[in-house]
Structure 1
Amino acid sequence: MYLYVKAVHVFAVVLLIGGILLLAMTLRNTHPRIDERSRRFVEGVLRWDTIVTTPALAVVWLAGFTMAFGAGWDTSIWLLLKTIPAVFLTGLHTVEADMLRRALRGGVELPALVRHAPAATLIAVAAIAWLAVGKPF
């Protein structure tokens, strides 16, 4: 059963990271003004976020908790450390989606975190992968 949950978890992670990067790049490339052509694209990105990325986020957390408690890793230091970038990515997804919705309503100033979101996402994913695969602690 563990391997099936792990497969679902990895698949959901791929969808989630793809969605977070899509949001980040859309924000960067449509900022500061969204014309009519861009508006249709942004609306499509937000639909994808609602239908695919957000449910993938829920599956990542549920499958992750299932694996952690099922394997007895709930008190492992590597897992506790892994939650830091995982929570960061969850928050980043929320901020990006909200900023893109606000950008559709009018101009929005992108904070530094959002401007650097693609790099921050990749760094967080690298940290998670290192901790999950290597289990160094």
Structure 2
Amino acid sequence: MQFSTFIGLALGTSASLVAADFPKANEYTTHDCSGDLNYGHHTFDLHEITMDDTTHSVYQAGTSWYFFSGKSENGGYCEGKFLGKTKSDTPACLDLDNTVAGERIRCMCNPLIGLGNGGMNSCDDFATE
């Protein structure tokens, strides 16, 4: 009985650790990622996240992200101007209206999804610096 309890705890703990590493992009209506969650995105294959027009900040983690000024539609794909990407000093909470001077982040793309086309990723198709 003790052995099966230990195995159960070990499996539960390892599953939660793996899930913690999934890409995350949780949207909030505030500018500082506080308050109630507006939209939550947290899955291993998270690729393009379009920001709802009522969202003003996003808590991002688990991957690097490319930022874009446009979106095709809610739930669509990134378009518009490439605004940059996360760096080692990028805060986890991004103010969508003020992170990039004079621009609003309307879409984020996870470059790790689709990686492998000669070193290109699926976000590189429309990201130029």
TM-score by length of 1: 0.26
Higher-strand-fraction structure: 2
Greater RCO structure (CA 8 Å; 6+ sep): 1
Normalising by structure 2, we get a TM-score of: 0.27
| Greater fraction helix | 1
